[in-house]
Amino acid sequence: QKLDEKMMSELAMMPMAQCRERLHQLTLAGYVDMVELPRTADRNPSRTAYLWYVNPQKQAGAALRGALQGIINVMDRLGQETGMRASLLAKSQRKDIVAGLAQLSQNERTALNAINEYKQRIDVATIRLDSMVLLLHDIVPGSTALAV
């Protein structure tokens, strides 16, 4: 089903200008598509009707690309966070420190606990995104060759 901007703004219960802006953003993201229907031969934009529609396969592909990009972003952020605290992480891996964390100062133990908690949150986010990617792989045909 294809809808024009007026019908879309009525269904979305938002002003026409705001609806047009959102539709443009969704088009750029790959979630909706537009068809131009010129009313005259000169194809003047003021005399052209624009119909908006959703292609479910393209929409699922855009969601899959977003989920894959999310995984990349999460892993990149983890690399940045561990890079900023590389000296503390290296110190915590020493044999004398592994045997007893009492050799670390209170601030270092607090920072190390914060890093470990952050890693756990990153792992949970990665697992959630992985499950979303697996679900979307079932929906999008040929998604095994999809590259971000």
Whole-number Å distance between alpha carbons of 75 and 133: 15
Identify the residue whose tokens are 């095994």: 144
pTM of the model: 0.68
Look at the chain and count its residues. 148
Rounded mean pLDDT for each run of 10 residues along the chain, 148 residues in total: 90 92 91 90 86 88 90 93 84 72 78 89 94 86 54
Q: What letter does residue 39 receive in the DSSP assignment? A: S
pLDDT tens digits along 118-135: 999 999 999 999 999 998
